[in-house]
Amino acid sequence: MQEFLSSVFPNVFSKLPDFFESIVETFIMLGWSGSISFVIGIILGIILTVTKKGGIIQNIAVFQVLDKIINFFRSIPFIILLAGVMPLTRLISGTAIGVEGAIVPLVFGTVPFFARQIETALAEMNPGLIEAAQSMGSGPLEIIFRVYLRECIPGIVRGTTITAISLIGLTAMAGAVGAGGLGDFAIRFGYQRNQIDVTYASVIVLVALVSIIQMIGSAIVRKNSH
C-alpha cells in the first residue's frame, strides 16, 4: 500500500514532514478562529434576533447599526479583507503572516456569516413558545437560554456546520498570502512547482475534513430533532 501511495504521490512522500505540519496548521487555524467566531457569532446572532422589530428586547437603533456592520463585512471579499485588516492583525497578533497572522482575518471573515446563520436559525422559533415563556414570567435571559438556544439546537448546528465548512475554504484561501496550512502547502509546492500530486493530496485531505464535519453535524441534528 505504501509503495502504491508513494508512486501516486511521489512529491508528497518526499515532503511528508511539511505535509503533516500543514495539516496541523490547518487544524490550529480552524480551532482558534472557529472557537472565537462561534462565541462572537452566537452573541451577535442573538442580539440581532432580540432587538429586531417585535423582538423580546426590541431596539431598532441597535439592530440597524449591527445589521449594517455585518452587511458591510459580509460584502468584502475575503482576499481583500486579509489585506485590509493587516494593521489590526499586527496589533493583536504581532504579525500579519503565518498561522498567527491568519486568525484575525479568519474571524472577521467568519463572524458576519455565522451571525446571519444564527439569526436565521433563531427566526425559526415558534412564537407561541416565546409567548408562553413570557406569560410564565420568564425574563429575556431565561427566554434566550431556555427557549431560543435550547429549542433551536438543530438550526444552530446546521449553521455551525455550514460555517465550519466555509471556514475550511477560507483557511485554504489564506494560504495564498503565506498563512500556512494546506492552502499554503498546495500553492508553494503544488502550484508554483507544478507538482500536481501535492495539489491532489491537499484536496483529498480537505474533502475528508469537510465530509467528517458534515457527518458530525448531521448526526447531531438528527439526535436533537423532534
- Residues 199, 182: Cα–Cα separation, whole Å: 9
Quick one: pLDDT at residue 168?
Answer: 92
**pLDDT tens across 107-163, in order?**
999 999 999 999 999 988 888 888 888 888 888 888 888 889 888 899 999 999 999
- Residues 86, 105: Cα–Cα separation, whole Å: 8
Quick one: pLDDT at residue 2?
Answer: 66
Which percentage of the chain shows pLDDT scores above 90?
A: 44
Quick one: pLDDT at residue 146?
Answer: 87
Among 38, 49, 52, 53, residue whose Cα is nearest residue 148: 49
Quick one: pLDDT at residue 195?
Answer: 83
- Residues 175, 188: Cα–Cα separation, whole Å: 9
What average pLDDT score do residues 167-178 get? 83
- Residues 109, 72: Cα–Cα separation, whole Å: 11
- Residues 96, 94: Cα–Cα separation, whole Å: 7
The CATH-assigned architecture of domain 18-224 is Orthogonal Bundle (1.10)
- Residues 74, 56: Cα–Cα separation, whole Å: 26
pTM: 0.90
- Residues 179, 187: Cα–Cα separation, whole Å: 11
Question: Which residues lie below 8 Å from residue 34, measured CB to CB, with a gap of 6+?
Answer: 110, 164, 167
pLDDT of 33 over the 80 cut: yes
Inter-CA distances, 162 with 155, 167, 193, Å: 11, 9, 33
Q: Taking the domains of the chain in order of start, what are their residue ranges?
A: 18-224
Nearest 5°: CA angle at 135, between 132 and 138? 90
What average pLDDT score do residues 86-101 get? 82
Query: Would you give the distance in Å from CA 54 to the centre of its chain?
Result: 29
